[in-house]
Structure 1
Amino acid sequence: MSNSQAVVARPAVLGDLVPGRLVRDVALVVGAAVFVGLAAQVSVPIPGTPVPVTGQTFAVLLSGAALGFRRGALSMALYALAGMVGVPWFADGASGWRMASFGYVIGFMLAGAVVGALAARGGDRSPVRTAGTMALGLAVIYAAGVPWLMAWTHSGLGSALSMGVRPFLVGDAIKTALAAGLLPGAWRLLRR
């Protein structure tokens, strides 16, 4: 047996640990989209903003990290597409793209890809790296969501930040801390 045959490839992301490549990939992509859709139903309206607090961002970031670049982006694209054609799984059971928070849904696709790419490079293996990966993913979501919110509400940047970022910072810090414990813990549990 040569050295190249004796080396076992290290899984890049948690999703790579599931056997059966094509079936696995389809199941993971669909499963992540459903996971985000379910997390969106945990929705709390906030006075002064048309954007509710939801479990979506946490689900998006975990999905991206667990699935990697390609599957993370595809799962969020599936989530967005299904919601646009009528699946009522956006926040508060909404569907379609004509809503103030749809820019964040666009950001989910980008964040799924970015977080997935960083996780494949070890960005989810330690609490500090996971926190940085999640923070970057959140920044990507905000970068897509705030301009959409500005256009939707006909407001300036300061007002959009007050409606679409500031009310969510504490919750997003908690979500980041949870992910910083869960993802490295999953890797340790699986001894990879």
Structure 2
Amino acid sequence: MNMDNFYSTRKNVFERIQDASTATKLLMSLMMACLTGIMAQIIIPLPWTPVPITAQTFAVLCSGLFLGKRYGCLSQVLYVVLGVAFIPWFGGMTGGLEALLGSTGGYFIGFIITAYFIGLITEKYAESRSFRKMAVVIGIANFALIYIPGLAGLALWFNLTQGTAIGIVDLLMMGLVPFIVGDIVKILGAASVSKVFLPKD
């Protein structure tokens, strides 16, 4: 396949996804929720924090890229709602309301916001789909939209379970610092997905 054929095929596939029926988009959202749940099982527990390293963030980032703001966001809503309701597909095969109210609950909220934001930028600004621009967009989404609610939820959980407020340094060491390197890899990976698979016009 020459590059012209590749670019044409890539654009056609992207447009077919955008123009798909509501039922098809709902199915794709459910499939992306399933992928998020599968990648959440790639897990590295850390002894000093209840927040583990997982691969699910990569699926969150890609949900907005492929499904756009509405259905990318919906995929993460489904992931959270179904995980709370009856599917144990959060990290470590956990689920239920206690997981949402636990140390990682804020991150789940961040997943929903992040998928919407990336989908919004991807849909509205075709030029943003280049590697460099999308890396910036995804980096902002990852470190602001996931970690702000994530750290707030972790701090609240710590206060409620330990009966004392956690210092900012300890909070960052528990909920942010150990994940920076892995997140950079996932951000660059998602930006590469955007560069290869999404049209630029």
Per-residue CA deviations over 1:58-77 (Å, capped at 9, x if unaligned) read 11001111111111111111
Deviant stretches of 4+, over 4 Å = none
Aligned to 1:185: 196
Deviation at 1:45, TM superposition (A): 0.3
1:98 to 93, 97, 101: 101
Deviation at 1:34, TM superposition (A): 0.6
Aligned to 1:165: 176
Aligned to 1:3: none
Give the structure-2-normalised TM-score. Answer: 0.82
Q: For residues 69 and 123 of structure 1, do their structure 2 counterparts lie closer, same or farther at Cα, with a shift above 3 Å needed? A: farther
Check conservation: 1:110, 1:140, Cα contact below 8 A.
yes
Per-residue CA deviations over 1:118-149 (Å, capped at 9, x if unaligned) read 11123652111110121122120001100000
Aligned to 1:112: 115
In structure 1, the gaps of 5 or more residues are: 1-10
Q: For residues 41 and 124 of structure 1, do their structure 2 counterparts lie closer, same or farther at Cα, with a shift above 3 Å needed? A: farther
Aligned length: 179
* 1:92 counterpart SS class: coil
CA separation in 1, counterparts of 2:191 and 2:105? 27
Deviation at 1:46, TM superposition (A): 1.4
Whether 1:126 and 2:130 are equivalent positions in the alignment is yes
Aligned to 1:34: 34
Deviation at 1:47, TM superposition (A): 2.2
In structure 2, the gaps of 5 or more residues are: 1-10, 160-165
Query: Quick one: which amino acid aligns to residue 129 of structure 1?
Result: K
CA separation in 1, counterparts of 2:101 and 2:22? 34
CA separation in 1, counterparts of 2:127 and 2:103? 31
Query: Quick one: which amino acid aligns to residue 162 of structure 1?
Result: M
Q: For residues 82 and 115 of structure 1, do their structure 2 counterparts lie closer, same or farther at Cα, with a shift above 3 Å needed? A: same
Whether 1:151 and 2:162 are equivalent positions in the alignment is no
Deviation at 1:17, TM superposition (A): 2.5
CA separation in 1, counterparts of 2:158 and 2:126? 39
* 2:92 counterpart SS class: helix
* 2:198 counterpart SS class: helix
Per-residue CA deviations over 1:22-67 (Å, capped at 9, x if unaligned) read 2221111111111101110111101211111111111100111111
Larger helix proportion of the pair: 2
CA separation in 2, counterparts of 1:100 and 1:56? 16
Instruction: Give the share of equivalent positions with the same residue, in percent.
Output: 34
Q: For the aligned residues, what is the CA RMSD?
A: 2.1
* 1:93 counterpart SS class: coil
CA separation in 2, counterparts of 1:76 and 1:156? 30
